[in-house]
Structure 1
Amino acid sequence: MRTDMATRPRTYNVLNILTKFHAFPSEVDGKFCLVECTVPVGAGAPPNHHAGETEGFFVLDGQIMFVIDGGEYPAGPGDYIAIPDGAVHAFKAIGDSPARVLILNAPGHMHEAFFTGLGTVLPDDQTKLPTPNEPDLGAVLKVAGEVGMTIVGPE
């Protein structure tokens, strides 16, 4: 049961990605963070790594290219991609339409802090992609460093 739904924002613009929290770690005994992301074509996450947070992606719609430790892995609806602990990874929506993906991070505290620290709060009922803007690389690096994530470089 969500106990802080009314008081806590759940929807953010993170790197032009519409990010909706389905579960914060505090709602699930600190076990995981579950977000649903709508990713515009060409948007995604830069190469990064983070020890101690398991990450998995389940593609709902569209196409996403994952890069994990230098290998490329295209994924579409129904595909699950697991990120090995500490692996350098990135992803980008490809194709003709935005992709939609569920991301599970365990225990999720690092990703919750990154997404909420970097993101801009949006109305919780928003379903339209945010207006794209150029991500502030300095802010990305600062927030990532504060939460224990390493950004390796641009995609």
Structure 2
Amino acid sequence: MQELTVTDRPRTYNVLNILMKFHAFPEEVQGKYLLVECTVPVGAGAPPNHHAGETEAFFVLDGQVGFMVDGEEILAGAGDFVPVPDGAVHAFQAVGDKPARLLILNAPGEMHDAFFTGLGTPLPEGQTDLPDPVEPDVAAIVAKATETGMTIVPPQPAA
């Protein structure tokens, strides 16, 4: 039986006002995936983005999340699974009257690990309260995305 390797690095972060708890970093699971549990305040989420070479999927644990995947709008609630095809433009935002909780699975995960932990701020281990909201630094988000191989899709003007 293979021995479990757990890295000695922070596991709880504030990323875009989202409380992220990292359950598995890629280096702990033979470079296969990244597994993150998120508590997302209403109105927070991820801007439209895409990334080739890294598959992403979401499982909603609690609350409601509005997703956009390749132009299709999806309202997901507890128990819903939302896969994102490799390279598809996608975004999400917590909606409703309470924060949403979801699991994010990225495979193989190195890109998202570098983006989330590089952009985020480590929080005390065991923190379950949402961080105080701050205005996201759009330039820093775009720079970190570019550095890690992601593309943030600029908002389209209204027709």
Name the TM-score class by shorter chain: over 0.9
1:112-151 equivalent positions in 2, closer than 5 A? 112-151=113-152
Identity across matched positions, percent: 71
SS at match of 1:8: coil
Equivalence for 2:63: 62
Equivalence for 1:73: 74
SS at match of 1:141: helix
Distance between the aligned counterparts of 2:108 and 2:17, measured in 1?
24
Distance between the aligned counterparts of 1:43 and 1:2, measured in 2?
33
Highest Rg: 1 or 2? Answer: 2
Counterpart of 1:144, as a letter, is A
Shift of 1:2: 4.4
Shift of 1:71: 1.1
Aligned residues: 153
Shift of 1:3: 2.5
Counterpart of 2:150, as a letter, is M
Equivalence for 1:37: 38
The gaps in structure 2 that reach 5 residues or longer are none
Cα deviation, 1:70-122, whole Å, max 9, x if unaligned, reads 11000000000000110000000000000000000000000000000000010
SS at match of 2:112: helix
Report the aligned-residue RMSD. Answer: 1.0
Aligned: 1:3 with 2:1: no
Equivalence for 1:103: 104
Relative distance call for 1:28 and 1:43 in structure 2 (3 A) is: same
Equivalence for 2:153: 152
SS at match of 2:43: coil
SS at match of 2:142: helix
The gaps in structure 1 that reach 5 residues or longer are none
Equivalence for 2:94: 93
Counterpart of 1:3, as a letter, is V
Distance between the aligned counterparts of 1:57 and 1:2, measured in 2?
25
